[in-house]
Structure 1
Amino acid sequence: MKERNPLRDAVQIALSASVAATVTAPVALAADDDVAEQDTVTVTGSRIKRVDIETPLPVTTISREDIDSSGEISVAEVLRGSTFNSFGSFRQSSGSSAQSQSTVSLRGLGATRTLVLLDGRRIAGSPTFGSGSAQNLNTIPLAAVERIEVLRDGASAVYGSDAIGGVVNVILRKDYEGVNLAAGIGRPTSEGGDEENFSITAGVSSGKGNITFSLDHAAQDIIFNADRDFSDVGLSSFGFPGTMWIDGVGRVSDPRCPSGIDTDGDGVGDEPDPNAGTDANGVDLGSSVLRDTRCRYNYAGVSANEASIERDSFFVNSNYEINDSVSFFARGIVSRTESFGRYAPTPVVGGNPFAPTMSADNPNNPTRPGALLLADFPGFDQGQFGVFPAGATDFSQWDTDGDGAADIDCGANPDGACEITSIWYRNVPGGFRDSLVENVMIDGLVGLQGSNDWFGGSDWEVGLQHSSQTNADTTRGLVITPILQESIDSGAFDIFAVNGPTDPNVAQQSIHEGFHNEETRIIAADGAISFDVAQMANGSVPIAVGFDYRDEKFSQDYDGLQNAGAVTGSAGGEDITGARAAYAVYGEVAIPVLDNLEVDLKIRRDHYNDFGNATTPQLSI
């Protein structure tokens, strides 16, 4: 639970200079002139500019005041607690290439069907999610946000097919005057997750235009699973000590695996005992527990739940009045997000694509008579699945079915040892899997907008945009499977610590630091015009038509070993490069049927050079 810190509310240091001017208008020369001209606005989900912002669309607005009072430090956190996000969203979950990412899902349809816009325009999507099909909210600087409009309805006929779940339109600050400094800290009641943020926002205006900019820094510390009661235990089949498969016998746990703590009173340990210490060979027993014939590892004891995240961003927004009917506008954002996450040491998989094995004549084979003496692991819970007959002295004499005879009896093999055909093992000697992820978003927009007498009076706008996002992921502690198997076969790597503690230097020889780079990029152009086509008894009939064009590119590359499938501990992947072009034209008309009833008709025609065509109509009342 997050504890409200007074600095979150009180340290809002505002040095603002507001300019207010009172102008006495000339005496009206005609009765019609005393009606002040009102600005028109465009509401999310519609391309029509209106004086009356009420539309048939279900739009929720989160104001700047709402954002400030929430105490949150990111757009993702502001949206995550909203009712329209009732089906949840992705947060910066530790231990993956997406650990620095946060998304929003409207109406439970998923992040790839929820469109996120900046000032009504697309930005490059995160390359981590479906080749850029979802946007990373953590790249948007919160200090630059004026308000957030959420359309809780599909808008494919306006923005395209990926808006079927709804639209989140982040409106950025413009025409700001003065200087505002803000800082805050947050301290949860539990360990981890400390927050801090600092921002400066400033703007200056002239008679012709305005320039607004902001610098924003925000950070949140890592949260470990062990520091939360609901996540401090999570058992994996891949343990340390490990579990082996012996043909003719089945799955057999390393006998040093401790029985753990019985928390539910059924006589069987179900949680590791952190005070279990080490065995005679120096094997740490505090993170493992014997359950269901497997030595299971408590990965939650060392892994993180939420990755740390640190964001620095710069934003600038400007406009300039060229003449009475045409204005120039430009916007730029540079945002860098860095995240650190931790996974438990790499599990060496028993099964496809890699199952480490051990031959019967391996000097480190634990089934060799005399290799593991019962005196070295007195805490082994025999009663769970098998016993040692009277007089038994070592692990090879284990009777798993209770018939009085040793089952791990491979006398036909050298030294009486059994061949181990697969091993479930956690590479604890190799260290944690630590991930460092860096995201960079660069977005630039220029355009012209204006009003003129075309079609009896119209508003128009054209824009040109370049937007890109990169994701660089470096993960330590992965395992190169061929090297691990070679070190087992040669006897250099004593994976079961039969002959003493595992040499960490040998374990490190199979460790790999992998990298994974991704990028999405769009170059876009768009234009729209809106005007009234008719006058009805209940008001005018406005129409909007427009086009947009996008040139999209996606690429990803992995290091050579991950590309070749020679590494375990990460999903890996193939090097991919792809591109496509998308064109669209659209139209919209609003018909005032009654004073309080409006019918909106929309249609959009998309063409993709790699897919084909799509036509999307929509009717709103």
Structure 2
Amino acid sequence: MQHKPLYPISMLSLAISTALLMNSAHLRAQDAAATEQAQQKAVEVISVTGSRILRRGETEGSPIQTIERSEMDIKGAMSIGEILQQLPSVGASLNDNGSAGTSYGTASINLRNLGENRSLILVNGNRWVNGAGSRGFRDFVDLNTIPYAIIERVEVLQDGATAIYGADAIAGVVNIHTVKDYDGAQLKAYAGQTSKQDRETVNLDLKLGRDWGRHNLFFAASYSDQKPILTQDRALTAIPLNGLSLGTAEGLFREANLTQVLNFPIPAQGITRAPGSDGNNLASWRPATTNDRFNRYYDNYVVGPNERLSLYGQALFQLPDTAVFQDTRLRVELLHNKRESDQQFSAVIPTVTGARGFVIVNDPRVNPFGVEFSGNDFSLNNFFVDNGLRRNIQEVKTSRAGLGIEGFLPGDWRWDMFASVAKNEGTFTSANQLHLDKLALGMRACGTAGLTADVSDLLVGCVPVNMFNPLTADMVRYINFTGEDRNQTQQQHLRFNLTNAVAELPAGDLLLAAGAEYRKEKGTDTPDSVINAAPRVNRYQTTSSAPRTGTVGEYDLSEAYLELNIPLLAAQPLAEYLELNLASRYSNYSTFGNTTNSKVGLLYRLVSDLMLRATWAEGFRAPSILELYEGERASFAPVNDPCAANSSLPGCNGVPASYTQTDANVPITIGGNNQLTPETSENISTGLVYTPAWLSGFSLTMDWYNIKIDNTISTFGTQNLIDLCAFTGRNCNVISRAGSGEILNVVDGPVNLNRTEVSGIDTVIRYNLDTAIGRWDFSTSVSKLNKFAESSTLADGSELTTDKKGFAGVREAYPKWRGNFTTQWRKDNLSAAYNLRYIGDTTETFANQPRSIGSMVYHNLSAGYKFEQGLSLRAGINNLFDKQPPTSLVNVNINFDQQTYNAVGRFYYLQLTYDF
């Protein structure tokens, strides 16, 4: 038997259908149905995201948003992350914005605001390896590892799909389809920059393909380079709104006995070296004032640079038919992607104190005051600007090899199998840090008196370091430190699918799919050995980079699943078509055991114009390697301490009334929790699709959804922990304070919170029409958030529930409304497009007071022209009116929410495409 060759089916699929006998009243339609089904066999079978079953013709049983390549090209984007993050259903996501809480060069998608690790990313229906991240790997896919040039279209399933695809598909699924059966050659060049002459961007794509009918070869190469934007080049980010840092580039020195030496009283904030003085005599020093504070965020990257090179090859071969295997097609794919990105921060400002074991000996090479400083009475803070700006540099290499085969078996069974191995290797360099042991030794004028540890290696090249003078080049060479961490994620994946129409029912074919899957995930994180070494000269740490414990972990799983599609009614009054979809998946994890998750879907087309749909789905997410096994590490989080404004609050006992918060960044400890249990979820959605015959080209879809997640794995959040303690007196055991009231540390690791519940409504309206002046395509997509409630059990057994709808916090926002409107026009070789993107208003809480953050509207324009002989040109302006992000006081370091907005501003671009 001959079959029309299938397009490659790269979806994970397993489902078994059972026949359903129908009412005898429908048997009279069998002859007509048989004739219709014979005609349908000439229609190409297709796969649809959200189902493992192959179908003839489109289906609308699930809320799927499709983005074609032509839609991507009109937006002037450089990566698939930029495209997906503009969807109204996507919340705050990691991007190239780079300051506190930076993405370290990764890009993510956060469907329904439920987190990157609850949005499943597939490429041609297959899982993609998790990303590598600075100071530890990721537990979600880095979209920057997927070459933008090879993407043909993207399908976004905005519904729970654990029964279909397995873990992580709680919020939805993004299925990225790559180019298939390409024949020809294309060169694409892109260049752009902002109206402020920064963020210079260059991209080059090359695609080569040859199709011989039965065989196809495809190769793609892509290079992109995006330059940074500095904080001082945007008015919003030039100066932190919370004030300048309590420190100076000249030094801020405190010592209880200095009054007698200097002959003037020492204020609480200490003394500082007068700008321009050498610090070698007492006249160089004066009492410090608030005017001496330093802008530590000057010269930071508000948007970081990102450079990527990708190579992709694909070979498709039609194999000879045999008695068993027919129309069999083999696919081989290879990918290599390299990303280099970095973030730039202020110079190091170490806290050099006697309490931490630092000593400034009485030696004129290191001390102008003529007395030794040691013990708990002295502290010295200054920005080591001579040591250079700190830089975090990432180099991430992604490698993937895949082998797929598909075809037909006797009886018209369609099967496909896919196997892949993939890994991300990350090297993360932290430049222009300080070797604190060498600094401490230099402050001792390279003397070793009182030291018990062997420091012979540190004495090599030792230079006396005078902290009261500008650093010399020799001093910088001695104390400058560059660390290097390495981490890796690996994935092995094998799956098999089988599908067919197993019976003819009165309303249509009973469709079946079944299969199995095996997957193994592994992650390792190896911190720099010097950073992790115990200090030998000071009592604090060896370098200015925080030490942390390495991470090693892995798990594997085996799964089997089934799906059936049962047509119940067809061609009946008020029931043009009624279909039931059932699916179930069994999963067995090496980390926690087994689980079974099911899904029920109903599609009801009353008349040809109107279709209703509903789904109920169970879901789960297994704790990731990072959540289970991450080694402890120290970090910082920007917070607003309520006890600084009101020390009489219930959780502020022992905090002096005179306490003032001097630094918005507080130390925190983060680590894994091997006692975590899986998250479980319940998704319910209902919707309609209206395509009126009386208005050709018009369609309306509306979907209501409700997602409940139990045992939500999350950190409670540093600010939430501090607020909870301050205002209620609960859970204060995770916060450590000094006698002065200053926060010394907050422990904020992952825990199973009680529940997260989110609900809302998605609406999409499309209208296409042809006129005398050209073709018009209108599209409006709106998401309304009805609820985003998080509940957790407190230490006293009570439950705290917070609805974040309309709330904005530190790098998070939950506006009630988000929307996109796009108009495209085409006439002969000329085209134009306009896009409006809307982010609704929110409210943040700062200093115990609510503060409104206004809505944001971006306007984007582009136009293109197709010349003769394969040449086309497109020019565009993104953010036409140069709108800057709304100011946020809780995002204190950078003054806006980096994961919801960006500070790029107006951006011009030009794209040239040549097909040959």
Please state if 1:83 is matched with 2:84. Answer: no
Please state if 1:105 is matched with 2:60. Answer: no
What CA deviation, in whole Å up to 9, does each residue of 1:509-568 have, x standing for no partner? 121111011111112111011223444433223222211111222122122111226444
Distance 2:501 2:198 in 1: 57
Q: CA deviation at 1:451?
A: 2.1
Checking the alignment, whether the CA contact within 8 Å between 2:159 and 2:172 is kept in structure 1 is yes
- The residue that corresponds to 1:93 in the other structure is 98
Checking the alignment, whether the CA contact within 8 Å between 2:181 and 2:211 is kept in structure 1 is yes
Distance 2:349 2:510 in 1: 65
State which of 232, 240, 254 in structure 1 corresponds to 2:249.
Answer: 240
Distance 2:499 2:109 in 1: 31
SS in structure 1 at match of 2:440: helix
- The residue that corresponds to 2:579 in the other structure is 598
Distance 2:221 2:431 in 1: 32
Please state if 1:37 is matched with 2:42. Answer: yes
Q: CA deviation at 1:281?
A: 4.3
SS in structure 2 at match of 1:232: coil
Cα gap change, 1:94 to 1:442, in 2 (>3 Å): farther
Distance 1:57 1:525 in 2: 26
- The residue that corresponds to 1:471 in the other structure is 426
Distance 1:120 1:31 in 2: 30
62-71 vs 553-562, greater mean Cα deviation: 553-562
What CA deviation, in whole Å up to 9, does each residue of 1:342-378 have, x standing for no partner? 22111214689x947456957689895xx8xxxxxxx
Checking the alignment, whether the CA contact within 8 Å between 1:241 and 1:425 is kept in structure 2 is yes
Question: For residues 217-616 of structure 1, what are the structure 2 equivalents within 5 Å?
Answer: 217-234=223-240, 235-246=244-255, 251-256=268-273, 278-279=276-277, 281=279, 295-322=292-319, 323=321, 324-349=326-351, 355=356, 357-358=358-359, 368=369, 420-454=377-411, 457-490=412-445, 492-497=464-469, 501-564=470-533, 566-594=541-569, 595-616=576-597
Distance 2:61 2:394 in 1: 42
The one-letter code matched in structure 2 to 1:610 is T
Q: CA deviation at 1:588?
A: 1.6
SS in structure 1 at match of 2:272: coil
Distance 1:76 1:208 in 2: 34
Distance 1:90 1:601 in 2: 37
Distance 2:95 2:353 in 1: 30
- The residue that corresponds to 1:156 in the other structure is 162
The one-letter code matched in structure 2 to 1:599 is L
37-46 vs 439-448, greater mean Cα deviation: 37-46
What is the total number of aligned residue pairs between the two structures? 517
Checking the alignment, whether the CA contact within 8 Å between 2:361 and 2:443 is kept in structure 1 is no
Q: Show structure 1 runs of 5+ residues with no match.
A: 1-29, 258-276, 284-288, 372-413
SS in structure 1 at match of 2:168: helix
Cα gap change, 1:458 to 1:321, in 2 (>3 Å): same
Cα gap change, 1:154 to 1:416, in 2 (>3 Å): closer
Q: CA deviation at 1:37?
A: 1.4
The one-letter code matched in structure 2 to 1:446 is L
Distance 1:362 1:476 in 2: 30
Distance 1:75 1:32 in 2: 39
Distance 2:567 2:66 in 1: 24
State which of 117, 140, 143 in structure 1 corresponds to 2:146.
Answer: 140
Checking the alignment, whether the CA contact within 8 Å between 1:563 and 1:575 is kept in structure 2 is no
Distance 1:33 1:158 in 2: 29
- The residue that corresponds to 1:265 in the other structure is none
Checking the alignment, whether the CA contact within 8 Å between 2:357 and 2:375 is kept in structure 1 is no
Checking the alignment, whether the CA contact within 8 Å between 1:80 and 1:89 is kept in structure 2 is no
Cα gap change, 1:60 to 1:417, in 2 (>3 Å): closer
Distance 2:511 2:542 in 1: 60
The one-letter code matched in structure 2 to 1:198 is L
608-617 vs 162-171, greater mean Cα deviation: 608-617
The one-letter code matched in structure 2 to 1:112 is N
- The residue that corresponds to 1:267 in the other structure is none
- The residue that corresponds to 1:68 in the other structure is 73
State which of 179, 185, 189 in structure 2 corresponds to 1:183.
Answer: 189
Cα gap change, 1:619 to 1:241, in 2 (>3 Å): farther
Checking the alignment, whether the CA contact within 8 Å between 2:44 and 2:57 is kept in structure 1 is no
Cα gap change, 1:37 to 1:511, in 2 (>3 Å): same
- The residue that corresponds to 1:20 in the other structure is none
Checking the alignment, whether the CA contact within 8 Å between 1:555 and 1:577 is kept in structure 2 is yes
Distance 1:291 1:165 in 2: 52
SS in structure 2 at match of 1:67: helix
The one-letter code matched in structure 2 to 1:319 is L
What CA deviation, in whole Å up to 9, does each residue of 1:438-457 have, x standing for no partner? 11111111121112334xx3
Checking the alignment, whether the CA contact within 8 Å between 1:335 and 1:440 is kept in structure 2 is yes
Identity rate, percent: 24
Q: Show structure 2 runs of 5+ residues with no match.
A: 1-34, 258-265, 282-286, 447-463, 535-540, 570-575, 602-613, 615-916
Identify, as 1 or 2, the structure richer in strand. 2
Distance 1:612 1:583 in 2: 11
- The residue that corresponds to 1:198 in the other structure is 204
SS in structure 1 at match of 2:77: coil
Checking the alignment, whether the CA contact within 8 Å between 1:238 and 1:348 is kept in structure 2 is no
Q: CA deviation at 1:183?
A: 0.6
Distance 1:95 1:506 in 2: 29
Distance 1:425 1:580 in 2: 46
SS in structure 2 at match of 1:591: strand
- The residue that corresponds to 1:213 in the other structure is 219
What CA deviation, in whole Å up to 9, does each residue of 1:547-592 have, x standing for no partner? 1111222122122111226444434433333332221111122233
SS in structure 1 at match of 2:599: strand
SS in structure 1 at match of 2:517: strand
Checking the alignment, whether the CA contact within 8 Å between 1:364 and 1:496 is kept in structure 2 is no
Distance 1:38 1:291 in 2: 79
Distance 2:114 2:267 in 1: 44
- The residue that corresponds to 1:406 in the other structure is none
Cα gap change, 1:349 to 1:532, in 2 (>3 Å): farther
The one-letter code matched in structure 2 to 1:182 is K
The one-letter code matched in structure 1 to 2:506 is A
Checking the alignment, whether the CA contact within 8 Å between 1:348 and 1:355 is kept in structure 2 is no
Checking the alignment, whether the CA contact within 8 Å between 1:360 and 1:420 is kept in structure 2 is no
Distance 1:47 1:548 in 2: 13
Checking the alignment, whether the CA contact within 8 Å between 2:358 and 2:374 is kept in structure 1 is no
Checking the alignment, whether the CA contact within 8 Å between 1:446 and 1:464 is kept in structure 2 is yes
- The residue that corresponds to 1:59 in the other structure is 64
Distance 1:230 1:449 in 2: 55
Distance 1:32 1:608 in 2: 42
Q: CA deviation at 1:427?
A: 1.8
The one-letter code matched in structure 2 to 1:153 is D
Checking the alignment, whether the CA contact within 8 Å between 1:464 and 1:526 is kept in structure 2 is yes
